[in-house]
Structure 1
């Protein structure tokens, strides 16, 4: 991690946890430039299949909300441009990166971003803590959620978490931990969610 690096906080909502059968319903991205400029972007995605009732209840995203949204194939170039030239940061990055990887592959594109998982980051920095899901981190670090299980709001929570960790963890420790975690091998898919 360098002070001159773009940070890209990403969260997805999906129709379920299966990378092969389920699809993305919402994408949220908070990009933070080295100069501190923040750009927030989100979109619904038409998954091309019904959203299960349980997922609708969890996220508040209904079939009606996504029926006129673009398919991922239509959004692929825009999403790829927003993910370029920065560090991909997500909570359980295997889940979000895995879904995007599969969505890009189905649309004839590739996703090749270096990534960092905030679950692993929390575990490395606070090994005595037992829980590292996002709700636990919200409580532990006094984060302020705008909404839970909505893509942009959860991506914003990760940006809040990043700033809190920078404030409470010595810079050398934080930086070294980030460097160690981002040097780990690429994903071995599939994965399930811990959010």
Structure 2
């Protein structure tokens, strides 16, 4: 498939997914939006799930790049962790539709969703790789592998909660800025890690 044709199909698919959700989309509709026949589309993508997975992999790759770039050039693990976590937050704050893509929120709202075991395994691995700078910085601070993973999960959950409040504008109820709340959460977590390390010395 030519790169131009691939980009046209993916752009058309994203429009259809945003309008109809994964369940409501069809390869026929995607083909029509892209200007191709369904047969031509089937030749390159076996299913709409395959196209959705490709879109999500592209998004997760961009997320990983943003996180790594945010933390690059910083020597102290504390600074790396803070910058990587804020890179994650800032990526989705600026690109709310990518958050919708990652959580399968197009048209369907919040509910358990996935693309099947094979695709889900690949996508989960891509998300883990994107978040790895946070986990690695936590380990560099002296946490165990388990603790670093738990801290990454904590940061992930807190960021997504704030992003949900921000994008639905519910954050206004609290008169608070989501970025400031995220930074305060990171301050608290880093402070607790520092206190524990001082006790262990």
TM superposition score category, shorter chain reference: under 0.3
User: Which fold has the larger relative contact order, with Cα–Cα distance below 8 Å and residues 6 or more apart in sequence?
Assistant: 1
- Which structure has greater strand proportion? 1
Q: State the TM-score, normalizing by the size of structure 2.
A: 0.25
- Which structure has greater helix proportion? 2
Q: State the TM-score, normalizing by the size of structure 1.
A: 0.25
